[in-house]
Amino acid sequence: MCGIVGYIGHREAYPIIIKGLQRLEYRGYDSAGVMVYNEDGMLVCKTKGKVADLASKCESELNLVGNLGMGHTRWATHGVPNDVNSHPHVSNSGNLSIIHNGIIENYEPLKIELIKRGYTFTSDTDTEVLINLIEDVQKTDNLKLGKAVQVALNQVVGAYAIVVFDVRKPNELVVARLGSPLAIGIGENEYFIASDATPFIEYTSNAIYLEDEEMAIVRLHKPLKIRKIKDDTYVDPYIQELQLNLEQIEKSGYDHFMLKEIYEQPSVIKDTYRGRLLADQGIIRMAGIEDNLEKFLQAPRIIIIACGTSWHAGLVAEYIFEEFVRIPVEVEYASEFRYRNPVINKGDIVIAISQSGETADTLAAIKLAKQKGAFVFGVCNVVGSSISRETDAGAYTHAGPEIGVASTKAFTTQITVLTMIALRLAQAKGTLSKSELQLYLQELSNIPTKVEECLETNEQAKIIAAAMKDAPNCLYLGRGYNFPVALEGALKLKEISYIHAEGYPAAEMKHGPIALIDEHMPVVVIAPKQGHYDKVVSNIQEIKARKGQIIAVVTKGDTQVRELADYVLEVPDTADALSPLLTTIPLQLLSYHIAVMRECNVDQPRNLAKSVTVE
Ligand code: M6R
């Protein structure tokens, strides 16, 4: 839930670290800090606020010159965001420093023990406890840094990706991971360390992703040594070639990453089905499904686990799988699933959906499902992420890096993958006729062009945003396939504009929420022509009778709803099952413009972070 960057080599460390932290700011942005080492020792600069605040503080107060350093952008867990709680943390002796992403769950007893041994603490963080524990171990047993880190980590419970430095070993950084990601970029006589590869893609395309329970001693002019934290087994480093490019992680002329990512949807949906969907030949093929086709065909039930937007994609998939494949599907919040005692029967398949592939609750739910004997299939965006490695098989979405905290292209590409899976299973099972199947394949391949048409609602979305921006509350209603879209629309609005919004199945309105409707309540209704159109029109009448402000997402050419609604956003016609891929687009644009008009930080909404690697 925090971003970490480290550098050791021949370049100036500070600019690499600051730029890297800016790229990782999606992971947390309530405070930040940097340490650069040179012959004067460790120079540390920390502040509450964003990386830009850190940069202006560092540049006005210090001359951070040196070829080794580390930096951190924080999402607070232990201790409020302030200068003192920011990382890096320095040990009592002043010899060691650390940056940490994760949580040390047993920090309290460790802290009590260290206090008894004379250690003092200035921050409220678990991380300061860890660095002093490492120092204590190092001193007591007279150990080298790497060994001391290893011994200390074997005493902690929790999750971490850490970088540790010892002033007495100025050519070395020690890194370790458990439950939080850590990549090491390998250059010519230089190493980069980061939570993901974005901070170093312009310097090297070779990277190693540490596995859980692995640590590495990163030494200048020496090959990397990776070993297990639990024992001293050495692991052969597996160097991957990165597929990222700089353009993918820059705003490319857009005001915000969120807007750029909304506009990328036609191309990334295409990327997601490219080579997998050959509509003309009636072919859908995905290696992860083909290799496990029998298991899927025999499965009595599918359980989908996910959080947030990914959970909404799971709900869309529930409707699609049940209709196309005639298999019972349950969709669970991963955070609930992991803490009850879910029934998993022989043959049940669990599908875990996650953009980041690092969400702690989803990861824990996967582990539980595996313990209970389920075959777990992952739908992830980030290649090599923890979830993609923990699952038995999977299919990647090809959305590219999603940097805006609000998920947009992740959602539509997840639905694309899940739809392809459902179609492939329906084909194998014969639950859709050949002509139905052909129709869906064709229509799915038309979706990118239709999403482009949906993006034409941008100007209209701005007009509606101006009318909605001061509303304190908002309702989103949809039925069938578009009920999850209503939930997703409401989530988008609340997370980036801080307007309270709720999504409901349209017909549920009369069981309670209707009491909220008056002339001040904007109600966004998703009412495409296919599906339960007439029923939704009746719901719209009910809202109108109570003077609610109606904003409707309709199929192009619709006249009936247009007459009733205050505003409409038009999307092209498509099959009911595929309509979420279109109806969601104007809602993303609407939330975006409302947030911009309210002067909210669209890409980094308050209190949130992109990947939630804590419970
Ligand atoms: O990376 P994941 O898909 O596992 O993340 C799950 C949620 O944290 C995420 O979808 C969150 O709800 C987004 N901020 C929504 O826009």
The pLDDT tens digits for 284-326 are: 999 999 999 999 999 999 999 999 999 999 999 999 999 999 9
* 610 C-alpha to ligand 1 centroid (Å): 7
Specify the pLDDT at position 536.
93
**What is the total count of domains within the chain?**
3
Report, as an integer, the average pLDDT of 273-283. Answer: 93
> Is there a single domain that holds both residue 484 and residue 596?
yes
- In this structure, is residue 427 part of a structural domain? yes
> Is there a single domain that holds both residue 169 and residue 70?
yes
Digit-coded pLDDT (tens) for 201-234: 999 999 999 999 999 999 999 889 899 999 889 9
Atom of ligand 1 nearest to the CA of 312: 10
> Is there a single domain that holds both residue 470 and residue 344?
no
Domain termination site, one of 248, 281, 297: 248
Distance CA 262, CA 493 (A): 14
> Is there a single domain that holds both residue 279 and residue 242?
no
> Is there a single domain that holds both residue 86 and residue 212?
yes
604 lines ligand 1 (CB under 6 A): no
Report, as an integer, the average pLDDT of 570-597. Answer: 98
> Is there a single domain that holds both residue 482 and residue 568?
yes
In which band, very low, low, confident or very high, does the pLDDT at 60 lie, cut at 50, 70 and 90? Answer: confident
- In this structure, is residue 222 part of a structural domain? yes
- Which residues span the domain enclosing 221? 3-102+162-248
pTM of the model: 0.83
User: Containing H/E element for 545?
Assistant: helix 533-545
- In this structure, is residue 349 part of a structural domain? yes
Digit-coded pLDDT (tens) for 340-394: 999 999 999 999 999 999 999 999 999 999 999 999 999 999 888 889 989 999 9
- In this structure, is residue 445 part of a structural domain? no
Q: How far apart are the first and last CA of the chain?
A: 10
Specify the pLDDT at position 131.
98
Domain termination site, one of 227, 248, 269: 248
**CA 246 to chain CA centroid, nearest Å:** 19
Q: Domain containing 94 — which CATH number?
A: 3.60.20.10
* 612 C-alpha to ligand 1 centroid (Å): 8
614 lines ligand 1 (CB under 6 A): no
- Residue in 311, 332, 359 to alter for ligand 1 test, most ligand atoms within 8 A of Cβ: 359
> Is there a single domain that holds both residue 279 and residue 298?
yes
Q: What contacts 281, CB < 8 A, 6 or more positions away?
A: none
> Is there a single domain that holds both residue 256 and residue 225?
no
- In this structure, is residue 606 part of a structural domain? no
> Is there a single domain that holds both residue 577 and residue 499?
yes
Q: Domain containing 384 — which CATH number?
A: 3.40.50.10490
- In this structure, is residue 321 part of a structural domain? yes
> Is there a single domain that holds both residue 166 and residue 36?
yes
> Is there a single domain that holds both residue 350 and residue 301?
yes
Alpha-carbon distances of 61 from 57, 58, 167, 399, rounded to whole Å: 6, 5, 22, 41
> Is there a single domain that holds both residue 287 and residue 343?
yes
- In this structure, is residue 610 part of a structural domain? no
Residue 410, SS3 per DSSP:
helix
